[in-house]
Structure 1
């Protein structure tokens, strides 16, 4: 769950702080638990993608319905990494990769530093077949 393009020791304090909601997001996937997602995202967040050529935009509550509390059978083999994170003041962006069996997801996050700490404001993603 650590950045793959640089070691954690190479990240600035502000980058490490901005990674906190991404780590919550990773825990949400690992445990199939929406409560981690609610901690990671702003309540107004949308999760967006193109699914079979159609634009899809889920509000956070709809996205959280996808998590039922039962980790995937192949959870032990799944990999998640922060590829990069860039911080400018109270705004940040990050790309993460989630290798979930036959599908690899690339997520792009917009993050904001709020009075409650860093939160994911929005997510755009694509899922593609995992390369062997």
Structure 2
């Protein structure tokens, strides 16, 4: 996995490193195809949503985790993932991540909240397009 995530700061906010923790778990979940990372990244109540090829897709956290089988993709070494933006306001934040997975590029938008367990992804919306 190639991830440009820790090379440079995107904000001057003192919480940026803490906000990156669930985002890094998310990236690791994709790289390893391991739902355990996703469960560390997301709030239990999170939803993952997109409009892909027409209809709205909306998954609960558990439905989303069922998609991860623990077997990294055959082309994992060529996949790229970057944290493009982070915006933090108090106990809420947003982030944008780009994932280039072979012939498909995903643009992911996250809403995060600072909880008693640390920062967690509250919801994700994404767009998929041909690379």
Whether TM exceeds 0.5 here: the answer is yes
Structure 2: how far apart are the matches of 1:9 and 1:84?
6
Matched position secondary structure for 1:8? coil
Structure 2: which 5+ residue stretches go unaligned?
Answer: none
Task: Tell me which residue corresponds to 2:61.
Answer: 60
Task: Tell me which residue corresponds to 1:18.
Answer: 19
1:91 and 1:37, CA in 2 relative to 1: closer, same or farther beyond 3 A?
same
Matched position secondary structure for 1:35? helix
Asked if 1:48 is matched to 2:45, the reply is no
State the 4+ residue runs in structure 1 displaced beyond 4 angstroms.
none
Structure 2: how far apart are the matches of 1:2 and 1:40?
18
Task: Tell me which residue corresponds to 2:123.
Answer: 122
Asked if 1:97 is matched to 2:94, the reply is no
Structure 2: how far apart are the matches of 1:18 and 1:91?
10
Alignment of 1:50-89 (within 5 A): 50-89=51-90
Moved more, 103-112 or 15-24: 15-24
User: How many angstroms does 1:36 deviate by?
Assistant: 0.3
Matched position secondary structure for 2:15? helix
Map Cα deviations across residues 19-62 of structure 1 (whole Å, 9 max, x no partner).
11000000000000000000000000000000221011100000
TM-score between the two structures when normalised by the length of structure 2? 0.93
